[in-house]
């Protein structure tokens, strides 16, 4: 056989089957492939694939297309729903070069009126993994772009308490870039979910270059979310650019959604620009409110480390002090009780009487959730230009630096402007231990007497500064329990200055001098010495020295303050330095709870002195003053000696 004839036979051997196949397809169509495809799916996955309608193939290189009508693909037996996919029609583009190397890649998939149920089962099983056991992460079909034309999507994960059902609708008249509207109902992380929104007509599942337009308005539990922008790669979230608005009852409620611990707060609203790229998420130029306080700033989370690392800078033009209550574990109403316990201008220091013992606790007693502290490392700066507070608490500004690292929370420093001076604290809470181990060092510098007691009309002209230090260590899972178990020292010193004479005459119960000053007007007298020194042991503050010495009166205090029971038990004894013709000399007692203190005098002693004056007055009107005369020591006392004498 000559070479030309041989070549003709070889060509005929190859061409003939092709021609026969083309002729067969032309006569009978592509439906003959349904059986082989269904059997292959059953063998590879153990699940039934049924093509109940016409099957057609559009040949092309490198992406031939397969179109099948009325298609179902079953779920494994453990799944809740019988079918994983059911669609009126399915059109698939197949990547032939990838198929030749045994990779199944569908660059494009279009589903008409689909019902799709995805489920994450126990033991790591996922119904979208196509191996027999649904556990091989490599046994999945790669889909690059997905188009859904009216349908239902469902997702279930019993272990995560998540079950969502979404309805999709497609509008052919939608503007360019839009096309799919959706609504969703269900449960996410055990919280009720409701959402609606819209997106582009084609879901860019793996496209790393084309942003997908998305608008969402959702509520999850008590958290509201609105987002409008673009996402690149819906599977990987490789990039994101959205305007985001969040609202809710407390930032703490974001933990189930984000897996990052935020502090408990009052109701909040935040609006900002959310960006994501690589391992970094940024909420830029956010504005909002927490309770009655305005906030602004930026926040960044890096997810590339052992745990998410959060950095934030928050600024408030007007910070309401009440809004800090939930952050430190204060119950609702406890700060109000503290306000009511403060003296008002119409109630002098020696005249405030509680109507009944208050049951409300003032010290914060809500436990910190330290089990969440290990979810994030954080560095946060908070600045407040102005603080809205009760008149009795003269705070003037705040700068605080918070650091959370390996479940150890540090405030270093926490810097308050207070009464013209500064209160600076360094606080450490070790959440790795149960109960929390706490340490606090507080420094008070250059506090002005006149501003420290703003509700005392007679103290507004006082001159002088207060300095002090607090060094405490305790343990407990709330601020109240930490203080109830604390040990250390507390000390305050008044550095010279002057104070209202009327105020001191009232403390000394010098009625005659008070009457004189009412007529002539108040004046300032020198403060020679002011010391408050306490030893703190097992939450009880014992007085080492409690002295306030002026030209008129020396006040020496004794007693204790129980931080655990929130009880006061102090006695203030006055020692008058000048003879007072009319005085109700008596110790002043400070008793009761922090929420309802009772400040009063020894009524029996005052009554005895008054009755003596009345009896003598019967004999002679001039003798009525004798029991009320307070002769005093007649000279100034040495301040250092007073402190030494006061110490046990």
What gap in Å lies between CA 26 and CA 564, rounded to an integer? Answer: 92
**Coil, strand or helix at 15:** helix
pLDDT exceeding 90 applies to what percent of the chain?
46
HEC profile of 465-498: EEEEEEEEEEECCCHHHHHHCCEEEEEEEEEEEE
Question: How much is the mean pLDDT over the chain?
Answer: 80
Digit-coded pLDDT (tens) for 461-482: 566 788 889 999 999 999 999 9
Average pLDDT over residues 76-86: 95
In this prediction, residue 622 carries a pLDDT of 37
In this prediction, residue 14 carries a pLDDT of 52
307 confidence band (pLDDT: 50, 70, 90): very high
**Coil, strand or helix at 334:** helix
Digit-coded pLDDT (tens) for 476-528: 999 999 999 999 999 888 866 777 777 666 666 666 566 666 677 777 778 88
In this prediction, residue 342 carries a pLDDT of 45
| Residue spans per domain, the chain | 25-249, 329-368+436-646
Distance of CA 546 to the CA centre of its chain: 40
**Which helix (H) or strand (E) segment is 643 a member of?**
helix 639-646
In this prediction, residue 602 carries a pLDDT of 57
pTM for the full model? 0.77
What gap in Å lies between CA 469 and CA 479, rounded to an integer? Answer: 19
pLDDT exceeding 70 applies to what percent of the chain?
75
Lowest mean pLDDT among 223-237, 423-437, 622-636: 622-636
More confident residue, 117 or 624: 117
Digit-coded pLDDT (tens) for 131-187: 999 999 888 888 988 888 899 999 999 999 999 999 998 865 544 445 789 999 999
Digit-coded pLDDT (tens) for 369-420: 899 999 999 999 999 988 887 666 677 888 999 999 999 999 988 898 887 8
What gap in Å lies between CA 369 and CA 348, rounded to an integer? Answer: 42
- Residue 105 in this model has a pLDDT that exceeds 80: yes
In this prediction, residue 645 carries a pLDDT of 55
In this prediction, residue 455 carries a pLDDT of 56
**Contact in structure between 646 and 545 (CB atoms under 8 Å):** yes
DSSP-assigned states of every residue in 566-630: TEEEEEEEEEESS-BSSB----EEEEEESSSEEEEE-HHHHHHHHHHHHHHHHH-GGGGGGGG-B
Lowest mean pLDDT among 61-65, 352-356, 541-545: 352-356
**Contact in structure between 152 and 87 (CB atoms under 8 Å):** no
């Amino acid at each position: 056989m000559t070479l030309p004839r041989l070549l003709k036979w070889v060509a005929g051997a190859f061409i003939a089957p092709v021609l026969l196949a083309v002729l067969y397809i032309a006569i009978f169509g592509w439906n003959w492939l349904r059986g082989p495809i269904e059997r292959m799916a059953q063998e590879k996955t153990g699940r039934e694939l049924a093509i109940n309608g016409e099957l057609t193939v559009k040949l092309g290189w490198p992406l031939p297309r397969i179109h099948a009508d009325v298609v179902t693909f079953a779920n494994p037996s453990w799944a809740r729903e019988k079918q994983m996919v059911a669609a009126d029609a399915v059109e698939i583009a197949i990547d032939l070069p990838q198929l030749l190397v045994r990779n199944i890649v569908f660059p494009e998939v279009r589903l008409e009126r689909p019902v799709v149920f995805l489920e994450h089962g126990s033991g790591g099983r996922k119904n979208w993994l196509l191996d027999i056991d649904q556990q091989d992460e490599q046994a999945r079909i790669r889909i690059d772009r997905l188009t859904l034309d009216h349908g239902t999507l469902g997702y279930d994960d019993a272990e995560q308490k998540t079950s969502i059902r979404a309805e999709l609708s497609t509008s052919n008249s939608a503007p360019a870039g839009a096309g799919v509207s959706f609504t969703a109902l269900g449960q996410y992380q055990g919280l009720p979910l409701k959402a609606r929104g819209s997106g582009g007509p084609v879901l860019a599942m793996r496209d790393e270059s084309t942003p997908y337009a998305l608008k969402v308005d959702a509520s999850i539990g008590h958290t509201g979310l609105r987002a409008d922008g673009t996402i690149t790669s819906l599977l990987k979230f490789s990039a994101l650019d959205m305007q985001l608005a969040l609202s809710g009852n407390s930032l703490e409620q974001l933990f189930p959604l984000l897996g990052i611990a935020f502090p408990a707060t009052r109701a909040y609203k935040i609006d900002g620009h959310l960006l994501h790229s690589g391992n970094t998420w940024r909420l830029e130029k956010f504005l909002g409110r927490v309770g009655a306080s305005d906030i602004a700033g930026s926040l960044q989370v890096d997810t590339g480390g052992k745990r998410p690392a959060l950095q934030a800078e928050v600024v408030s033009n007007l910070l309401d002090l009440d809004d800090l209550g939930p952050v430190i574990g204060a119950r609702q109403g406890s700060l109000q009780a503290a306000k009511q316990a403060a003296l008002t201008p119409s109630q002098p220091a020696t005249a405030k009487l509680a109507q009944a013992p208050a049951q409300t606790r003032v010290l914060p007693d809500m436990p910190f959730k330290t089990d969440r502290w290990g979810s994030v490392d954080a560095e946060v700066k908070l600045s407040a230009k102005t603080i809205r507070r009760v008149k009795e608490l003269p705070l003037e500004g705040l700068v605080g630096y918070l650091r959370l690292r390996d479940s150890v929370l540090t405030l270093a420093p926490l810097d308050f402007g207070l009464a013209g001076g500064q209160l600076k604290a360094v606080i450490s809470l070790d959440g790795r231990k149960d109960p929390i181990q706490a340490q606090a060092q507080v420094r008070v510098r250059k506090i002005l007497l006149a501003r420290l007691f703003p509700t005392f009309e007679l103290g507004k002209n006082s001159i002088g500064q207060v300095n002090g230090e607090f060094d405490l260590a305790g343990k407990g899972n709330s601020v109240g329990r930490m203080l109830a178990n604390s040990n250390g020292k507390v000390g305050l010193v008044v550095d010279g200055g002057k104070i209202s004479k009327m105020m001191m005459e009232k403390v000394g119960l010098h009625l005659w001098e008070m009457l004189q000053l009412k007529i002539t007007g108040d004046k300032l007298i020198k403060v020679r010495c002011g010391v408050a020194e306490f030893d703190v042991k097992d939450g009880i503050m014992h007085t080492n020295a409690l002295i306030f010495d002026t030209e008129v009166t020396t006040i020496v205090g004794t007693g204790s303050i129980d931080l655990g029971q929130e009880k006061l038990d102090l006695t203030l004894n006055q020692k008058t330095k000048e003879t007072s013709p009319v005085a109700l000399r008596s110790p002043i007692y400070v008793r009761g709870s922090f929420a309802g203190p009772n400040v009063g005098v020894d009524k029996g002693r005052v009554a005895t002195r008054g009755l003596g004056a009345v009896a003598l007055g019967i004999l002679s009107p001039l003798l009525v003053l004798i029991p009320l005369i307070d002769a005093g020591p007649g000279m100034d006392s040495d301040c250092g000696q007073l402190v030494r004498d006061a110490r046990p």
